[in-house]
């Protein structure tokens, strides 16, 4: 694992966006695995800015998103489909047919998971997968458990994840209790993984996930076994591992 330190969130975002932009420039038809949440917003803002300056072209880029809440329509402002269009897709020249996101409105979980697994297979592999990390070590919505989940699956969200997400909803009961997510096996198939982490509150899980044992109780720890992972984190997130770097 290669570690790149940013001074703060803004610096971390710029450094991570540089890695994604280099992927697009060197391989214009690359497949990007994309993530949502507060962590990647700064990255998307940088990418949009460079696109507006004619430094980036998304016309051949294909994307696959990590996850989507089950039961939220695309036009719900808390759906990940809405998020991606708000922060990136509506602001660059990516083609709608090249965008792939799990369908949160498909009630048949087995059917939707099989469909998305087929999408991932037919797209020919992810060139660069962007990831954040949850306070409990989850990546995507792969929650701590007894075994590493393999492919796309429907997951019951833990209380800690529901609590972390409730600030985005009017009431806690509005927070979805399930989500579709790419599995650990799908994530680990990516040729390159770009992990971004910001904030003092993530310092503990950084140490546990990347300097502790590989265990499904800390899903992100599996990334220790991938041969091309770049961790871009700010000083606060790295504050407990400075002596280990």
- Which is the catalytic residue, given 46, 65, 136, 165? 136
Instruction: Provide, rounded to the nearest whole percent, the portion of the chain with pLDDT above 90.
Output: 85
In this prediction, residues 19-28 reach a mean pLDDT of 98
* pLDDT above 80 (res 177): yes
What average pLDDT does range 70-93 have in this prediction?
Answer: 96
> Catalytic: which of 23, 46, 67, 98?
67
Residue 108 annotated among the catalytic residues of the structure = no
What does the pLDDT look like over 87-104, one tens digit per residue? Answer: 999 999 999 999 999 999
**CB contact at 8 A, 155 and 65:** no
pLDDT at residue 171 tops 90:
no
- 157: pLDDT confidence band, cut at 50, 70 and 90? confident
In the chain, where are the structural domains located? 2-244
Full-model pTM:
0.94
Q: How confident is the model at residue 164 (pLDDT cuts 50, 70, 90)?
A: confident
pLDDT for the residue 167: 84
Give me the pLDDT at residue 165, please: 81
Q: What is the predicted pLDDT for the residue at 173?
A: 86
pLDDT bin (cut points 50, 70, 90) of residue 245 is confident
What per-residue confidence (pLDDT) applies to 206? 97
Query: What is the predicted pLDDT for the residue at 98?
Result: 98
Exactly one of 81, 106, 127, 143 is catalytic; which is it? 143
Higher pLDDT, 106 or 173: 106
Each residue of 42-67: pLDDT tens digit? 999 999 999 999 999 999 999 999 99
* Mean pLDDT across 68-76: 94
Residue 148 has pLDDT above 90, yes or no: no
Calculate mean pLDDT across residues 132-139. 93
144 or 161: which carries more pLDDT confidence? Answer: 144
Q: Is 85 a catalytic residue?
A: no
Q: What is the CATH number of domain 2-244?
A: 3.40.50.1360
* Predicted local distance difference test score (pLDDT) of residue 9: 97
Q: What is the pLDDT of residue 195?
A: 98
- Confidence at 158, pLDDT banded by 50, 70, 90: confident
Place of tokens 């982490």: 197
pLDDT at residue 145, as a whole number: 86
Which among 46, 138, 165, 234 is annotated as catalytic?
138
Q: 100 an active-site residue?
A: no
Q: Is 136 a catalytic residue?
A: yes
């Amino acid at each position: 694992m290669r570690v790149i330190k940013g001074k703060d969130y803004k610096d971390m975002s710029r450094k991570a966006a540089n890695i994604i932009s280099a992927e697009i420039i060197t391989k214009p038809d690359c497949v990007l695995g994309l993530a949502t949440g507060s962590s990647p917003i700064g990255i998307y803002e940088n990418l949009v800015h460079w696109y507006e300056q004619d430094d980036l072209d998304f016309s051949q880029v294909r994307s696959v998103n990590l996850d989507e809440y089950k039961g939220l329509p695309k036009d719900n402002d808390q759906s990940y489909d809405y998020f991606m269009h708000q922060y990136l897709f509506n602001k660059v020249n990516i083609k709608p047919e090249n965008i792939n996101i799990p369908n949160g409105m498909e009630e048949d979980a087995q059917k939707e998971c099989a469909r998305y697994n087929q999408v991932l297979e037919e797209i020919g592999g992810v060139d660069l997968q962007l990831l954040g990390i949850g306070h409990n070590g989850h990546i995507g919505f792969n929650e701590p458990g007894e075994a590493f989940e393999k492919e796309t699956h429907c997951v019951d969200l833990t209380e800690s994840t529901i609590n972390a997400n409730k600030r985005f909803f009017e009431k806690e009961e509005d927070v979805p209790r399930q989500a579709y997510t790419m599995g650990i096996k799908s994530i680990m198939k990516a040729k390159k993984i770009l992990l971004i982490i910001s904030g003092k509150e993530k310092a503990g899980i950084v140490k546990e996930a990347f300097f502790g044992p590989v265990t499904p109780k800390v899903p992100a720890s599996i990334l220790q076994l991938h041969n091309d992972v770049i961790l871009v984190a700010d000083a606060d997130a790295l504050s407990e591992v400075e002596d280990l770097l």
